Structure 1
Amino acid sequence: MFKFILNDAANYVRSNVREFSLNAVRWLPQLPQLSPYDINIVLRENEFVYNFPVDGVIRSYETNQLGSNSPCEDSRTEASLLHRNGFICGIFDGHAGAACGQVVSKRLLRYVSAATLPRQVLREQMKQGAGSQSFLKCHNDNVDFVSEIKPIYEASFLKYIKKLTETPQRDVSSELVEAFLELDQGLSEEALDSNDMRTMSVALSGAVACLVHIEGLQLHVASTGDCGAVLGVLDPKTQQWQPKKLNIEHNADNMSEVRRILSEHPKEEHETVIRNGRLLSQLAPLRAFGDFRYKWSLEIMQQKVLPLFGKHAMSPNYYTPPYLTARPDVQQHELGPNDKFLVIASDGLWDFLSPSEVVSLVGEHINSKKILEPMRLPEGDITLQQISNQLAERKAGLTRKPVDQNAATHLIRHALGATDYGIEHSKISYYLTLPKDVVRQYRDDITITVIYFNSEHIAQLHSGADLSGITAPVA
């Protein structure tokens, strides 16, 4: 009975998540109440912060993850580029299991780091026996693939970079697109050629991705699926925060994406290709890695998949595959002094908060954290009255002192606990104590990375100053 009541409540929450207030919480069944201390432990468990040297475009980044699925189907990876100054990171949201998201989160950054390297440097590295980890330094990833699978992935990578050396250098946007497609093709070939159930499980699960590549002042966001990226811009005149979306979501709300898919299939299928807001009535994102049961030919499905997984593995109305692609949309942006931070996140965050709300919250968090910094007196002569005024200002600012140092945690806390009257402890407690078999109906996995830019350095670059380091170098 308890589960049925929770499911009824979940139906309400899913349809009213943006307006889900404390009143809605009160009519849910009573669940154990977590203390503020317990909530902080849960929310901060997966925090990570990385600070770069002061002479780069990026100051630091903060990231965090709160799972809903068990295991969590989101993944995240961040790395500095080797052999030149640059930074790359991504958020990956898996579905039908965590396998594809975990594999893509490790491998995609390696593909992109090699693809965007000048070809001559790439050739030199190949002569020295470069492998898949020769082109980047990960900051928050201490786990590698199991020994049985690693050689398969390594062989695919070496095949890919050999192909790169035989291909003329392309612009960054084109290299990003090709890296996405080449990795996805590799996932397919590995599953069909290796006869290993692990590679097949990766191929039949799926993942969406939002990848950020920064080199110099050039910021590229490559996105496939429904993760999101938004730039926080500070208006120099009004001192107000402005959001700038840097990707589009590939789902049924995107009518241009729906029209694209319909145009690729016969008119007879237009009633079945997308139904109930899902691809073939099943898949919510309309682009993704893996998910090859929406990509493989009928012959491959009948010979390779159905004998292992049964008829249910084939979607209804599966007539003219492929229905799905991993091809990303890429947006380029030149960083300016008013660009203060970038937030990328899985859709678990955007279910609760809009891009403008996210940018406002991070902007407020930046201002609030200044209270936590040591007091610094201005240079030159200063009066006791000026010191008194500065102390009074800091004292007043203590009321704005953030609960969380990490901006990603700050966003998760607001996503789960925000009401018209501020953060409500009991609301967060409900979200964190829902039983495992129903929690996914209330909230998805949430993974967030916040990248802070060095405005002073960016301004110097725009002024034409001669600077040796143009982005965040490896520490």
Structure 2
Amino acid sequence: MLQALMNFLSLCWKPVGHAGERLDSVGGSVVTGSLGAGRDGKDGLLWFRDIGKYAWGDFSMAVVQANQVLEDQSQIESGAFGTFVGVYDGHGGPEAARYVCDNLFRNFQAISAEAQGVVTTETIERAFSRTEEGFTALVSELWSSRPNMATVGSCCLVGLICQRTLFVASLGDSRVVLGKKVGNTGVVAAIQLSTEHNANVEEIRHELRELHPNDPQIVVLKHGVWRVKGIIQVSRSIGDVYMKHAQYNREPINAKFRLPEPMNMPILTANPTILSHPLHPNDSFLIFASDGLWEHLSNEKAVEIVHKHPRAGSAKRLVKAALQEAARKREMRYSDLRKIDKKVRRHFHDDITVIVLFLNHDIISRGVPQDHQLSIRSALDH
């Protein structure tokens, strides 16, 4: 019975591409079947897919690079089972985000099979836990040759749509915002569905102080920014094992990551905040994005941009709006910002990843997704 279910799920979620082709192929993406139909391309440091189809409607996707090596990764996996969306914002390097993009969905797939295909908060938590354990094992394996892998981490934002329900799981400060129609007024409200684990949020500082009552330095204000132990802004992530396991908080990792006092308990955690949201006919679209977008656009502005323009190119339009705002803040022209190369560009904005899912309630109400598969990962030259 279990093997049969595994085979079924494998068919539903099977990543598509030519034999031996990696899903994060350089310079673009790998897409399955007619659901992936739509124009995609590259404009300097910007990669985009203007429009495509997934199980429950249309999607738009874009990513712009700012770092020397792209630290954002993202994916959409969609089939008869439903839809899995992931946005992974790496820090300290790209390795953790790439690992999560390679393994989180696969772990969820296997754990769902073990649970007879039922999706619950527990199955999602187990997928996150298994991914964290796998990355920690990799850090241990590479400790003698690449000790700084212990200082690499990734925020994770996951959306799962199945059985007319949206699950949102988050670590770190990426964000998903729902565009919801307000009756028949023509207005679309912006509703944030994810929780952000960033020390600049007062509730997170309170949470950290409650968890570490004997540590007056658990959050420190440095140059106007709150940081956990004065080092990192996010309080939850995959990776960052130097802040979770004492055996990695020592030489030879960089001195700026080493704590002066013993670590008696994990400082960061990989336990996601999970929300369950029954989809309503007035739920119009979802914007999943790394914090690089939200640094420059409010929830309301992002929803307004999607609502007031054609669906095609929605994600790219959001990225460009954020870049225009970043340029305005530095009193420069957008056209000049576009000419700045990666690495130097990081002084003006972060890597930005955006996925917009439009919700087709004719399909959702039937409970039967569109009859094709989609497996796509955004990627730029690393």
Per the normalisation by structure 2, the TM-score is 0.77
> 1:332: Cα distance to partner?
1.0
Say which one has the larger Rg.
Answer: 1
Query: What does residue 203 of structure 2 align with?
Result: 256
Which residue, out of 175, 186, 196, partners 2:134? Answer: 186
More strand, by proportion: 2
AA in 2 matched with 1:97: G
Matched residues, number: 327
Query: What does residue 280 of structure 2 align with?
Result: 336
CA distance in 1, matches of 2:103, 2:150: 14
Q: Is the 8 A contact 1:416 1:427 kept in 2?
A: no
Deviations 1:321-362 (A, max 9, x none): 310011110111111111111000001000110111111110
Query: What does residue 158 of structure 1 align with?
Result: none
CA distance in 2, matches of 1:451, 1:196: 43
Q: Is the 8 A contact 1:229 1:345 kept in 2?
A: yes
Which residue, out of 352, 360, 371, partners 2:296? Answer: 352
CA distance in 2, matches of 1:310, 1:45: 33
Q: Is the 8 A contact 2:96 2:135 kept in 1?
A: no
SS in 2 for 1:286: coil
CA distance in 1, matches of 2:342, 2:279: 42
Matched, 1:102 2:98: yes
Alignment CA distance shift 1:316-1:176 (3 Å)? same
SS in 1 for 2:308: helix
CA distance in 2, matches of 1:331, 1:273: 26
Matched, 1:417 2:324: yes
Alignment CA distance shift 1:313-1:417 (3 Å)? closer
Query: What does residue 32 of structure 2 align with?
Result: none
Query: What does residue 41 of structure 1 align with?
Result: 43
Give unpaired runs (5+ residues) of structure 1. Answer: 1-39, 122-168, 370-404, 462-466
Say which is worse superposed, 285-294 or 274-283, in terms of deviation. 274-283
Alignment CA distance shift 1:70-1:356 (3 Å)? same
Matched, 1:444 2:340: no
Matched, 1:278 2:274: no
Describe how 1:75-474 pairs up with structure 2 within 5 A.
75-81=73-79, 84-117=80-113, 119-120=115-116, 172-193=120-141, 197=145, 201-267=148-214, 269-276=215-222, 277-297=226-246, 300-301=247-248, 306=251, 308-309=252-253, 311-366=255-310, 405-417=312-324, 427-434=333-340, 436-458=342-364, 461=365, 467=366, 469-470=368-369, 473-474=372-373
Alignment CA distance shift 1:360-1:43 (3 Å)? farther
Alignment CA distance shift 1:454-1:197 (3 Å)? farther
Query: What does residue 385 of structure 1 align with?
Result: none
Deviations 1:126-178 (A, max 9, x none): xxxxxxxxxxxxxxxxxxxxxxxxxxxxxxxxxxxxxxxxxxx7x61122122
CA distance in 2, matches of 1:472, 1:259: 47
SS in 2 for 1:45: strand
Give unpaired runs (5+ residues) of structure 2. Answer: 1-41, 375-382
> 1:214: Cα distance to partner?
0.7
Per the normalisation by structure 1, the TM-score is 0.63
Describe how 1:6-45 pairs up with structure 2 within 5 A.
41-42=43-44, 44-45=46-47
> 1:62: Cα distance to partner?
1.1
Alignment CA distance shift 1:474-1:45 (3 Å)? closer
Query: What does residue 70 of structure 1 align with?
Result: 68
CA distance in 1, matches of 2:332, 2:161: 40
More helix, by proportion: 1
SS in 1 for 2:353: strand
AA in 2 matched with 1:211: V
CA distance in 1, matches of 2:188, 2:254: 53
> 1:309: Cα distance to partner?
3.3
CA distance in 1, matches of 2:254, 2:87: 32
CA distance in 1, matches of 2:363, 2:116: 29
AA in 2 matched with 1:454: N
CA distance in 2, matches of 1:69, 1:240: 37
Percentage of matched positions with identical amino acids: 26
> 1:88: Cα distance to partner?
0.3
CA distance in 2, matches of 1:436, 1:194: 28
Q: Is the 8 A contact 1:43 1:413 kept in 2?
A: no
Alignment CA distance shift 1:235-1:310 (3 Å)? closer
CA distance in 2, matches of 1:44, 1:309: 33
SS in 2 for 1:182: helix
SS in 1 for 2:269: coil
CA distance in 2, matches of 1:60, 1:102: 25
Q: What do you get for the CA RMSD once the two structures are aligned?
A: 2.7
> 1:48: Cα distance to partner?
5.8
Alignment CA distance shift 1:117-1:232 (3 Å)? farther
CA distance in 1, matches of 2:372, 2:83: 8
CA distance in 2, matches of 1:44, 1:436: 11
Q: Is the 8 A contact 2:170 2:273 kept in 1?
A: yes
